[in-house]
Structure 1
Amino acid sequence: MTSNSSNGMTRRGVLGAFAATAVTAAPTFANAAGFLRGAGDIRRIRMYSGRTGERIDMIYWIEGKYIKDAVKEVNYFMRDWRTNDTINMDLRTVDIMAAAHNLLDPNEPYMLLSGYRSPKTNAMLRSRSKGVAKNSLHMRGQAADLRLNSRSVTQMAKAAAVCRGGGVGRYSGSNFVHMDCGTVRTWGR
């Protein structure tokens, strides 16, 4: 697939070069999302859950519009698996996840560790770990914890941070990256 540019560069080549470089002046998320446009303007999310065994691979946005049925499936997939509660996920978070995944260009879907968390689940996790925020963005459907076997935590965090769409937390000891659509910030190792 080639881009519309006259220089003949492929979309994959451009994305690979972009992801491979150390970005010091990161674009805004709007610019990052625009950069990812190829033949047709689409957004796709690919994930699986080790907890439920479910998989999702779908285009959820086409030509400037979210696809209602696809968004419903994303909301259900990202539910609190402990309580089976769902929420309307903030699509800005899904967009950040999709953009970072595209930049990384892996041959695998994300492993979703945590999407929406009910207040009950968040309180239980908080009682077991100091790393769980009392007012976690997970409880608002604005955050996800993700893993890729083929990419390091550092690689994933850099791709998400380039989007400048929210918070990016590196949890190297547990091998996952937190992405949210809150205030732009980074933390962790």
Structure 2
Amino acid sequence: MDNIGSSGISRRALLGVFAATAVTAAPTLSKAAGLVRGAGDVRRIRMYSGRTGERIDTIYWIDGDYIAESVREISMFMRDWRNGQAVAIDTRTIDIMAASHNLLDVGEPYMLLSGYRSPQTNSMLRSNSSGVARNSLHMRGQAADLHLDSRSVNQIARAAMACQAGGVGRYSGSGFVHMDCGDVRHWGS
């Protein structure tokens, strides 16, 4: 276990203190851009995968610093579930997901439908659907497809668009929202 200084306080204990004292008041939509750009002291992401049954609930950023171990855990969680391949998930995408979740003021974790996609998986999906991009940001670890039972696709998309930090796709027919850290744009209905 990693110790901080010579005080004998473990990193896990420190994270527990931060988690226990973090204020979880929901910000207004006007504060979304500030959340993505570094306002606040703690960033947290909560997700589960219906494909693998795994769950993640982790603080990945404290006082301006990403926690490398937590970002690695998120990257592994968001791996291509079809073949187990993983890449480093872009922290900008994680920030957009976390900020959007905070704006929605829900305790429910995201259901992750798709995070990283290997080129093989993307090609297979593309051959079965016109909605899969040839050069998808999923293949770079820069995108996620997410769902919440307690919020509509439109509500989730509006929260993500309020961040003004990347692409947002509405897939109402399939019940999910695409979020990425590419150019600011939006599509779908």
TM-score range, shorter chain: 0.7 to 0.9
Q: Render the CA deviation track for 1:84-122: whole Å, top value 9, x for unaligned.
A: 000001110000000000010112000000000000000
Task: Determine helix, strand or coil for the equivalent of 2:179.
Answer: strand
Q: Render the CA deviation track for 1:31-72: whole Å, top value 9, x for unaligned.
A: 2436862xxx01000000000000000000000001011111
Distance in structure 2 (CA, Å) of the matches to 1:148 and 1:36: 25
The aligned residue for residue 136 of structure 1 is: 136
User: Is the 1:32–1:162 contact (alpha carbons within 8 Å) kept by the matching residues of 2?
Assistant: no
User: Is the 2:32–2:100 contact (alpha carbons within 8 Å) kept by the matching residues of 1?
Assistant: no
Distance in structure 2 (CA, Å) of the matches to 1:99 and 1:188: 21
- Within the candidate set 22, 33, 36, 2:36 is matched to 33
Q: Which consecutive residues of structure 2, in runs of 5 or more, have no partner in the other structure?
A: 1-22
1:100 aligns with 2:100: yes
Output the TM-score relative to the length of structure 1. Answer: 0.84
Task: Determine helix, strand or coil for the equivalent of 2:173.
Answer: helix
1:178 aligns with 2:178: yes
User: Is the 2:44–2:58 contact (alpha carbons within 8 Å) kept by the matching residues of 1?
Assistant: yes
User: Is the 2:36–2:165 contact (alpha carbons within 8 Å) kept by the matching residues of 1?
Assistant: no
Task: Determine helix, strand or coil for the equivalent of 2:135.
Answer: coil
Task: Determine helix, strand or coil for the equivalent of 1:174.
Answer: coil
Q: Render the CA deviation track for 1:130-172: whole Å, top value 9, x for unaligned.
A: 0000000000000000000000000000000000110000000
Aligned CA distance change for structure 1 residues 45 and 106 (closer, same or farther; 3 Å): same
1:166 aligns with 2:166: yes
The aligned residue for residue 89 of structure 1 is: 89
Identity %: 65
Task: Determine helix, strand or coil for the equivalent of 1:112.
Answer: strand
Task: Determine helix, strand or coil for the equivalent of 2:186.
Answer: strand
User: Is the 2:32–2:103 contact (alpha carbons within 8 Å) kept by the matching residues of 1?
Assistant: no
Distance in structure 2 (CA, Å) of the matches to 1:105 and 1:97: 13
Query: What CA RMSD, in Å, does the superposition of the two structures yield over aligned residues?
Result: 1.7
Aligned residues: 167
Distance in structure 1 (CA, Å) of the matches to 2:187 and 2:81: 26
Distance in structure 2 (CA, Å) of the matches to 1:156 and 1:136: 21
Q: Which consecutive residues of structure 1, in runs of 5 or more, have no partner in the other structure?
A: 1-9, 20-25
User: Is the 1:167–1:186 contact (alpha carbons within 8 Å) kept by the matching residues of 2?
Assistant: yes
> What residue identity is the alignment partner of 1:114?
S
Distance in structure 2 (CA, Å) of the matches to 1:150 and 1:120: 33
The aligned residue for residue 63 of structure 1 is: 63
1:121 aligns with 2:124: no
Distance in structure 2 (CA, Å) of the matches to 1:58 and 1:11: 14
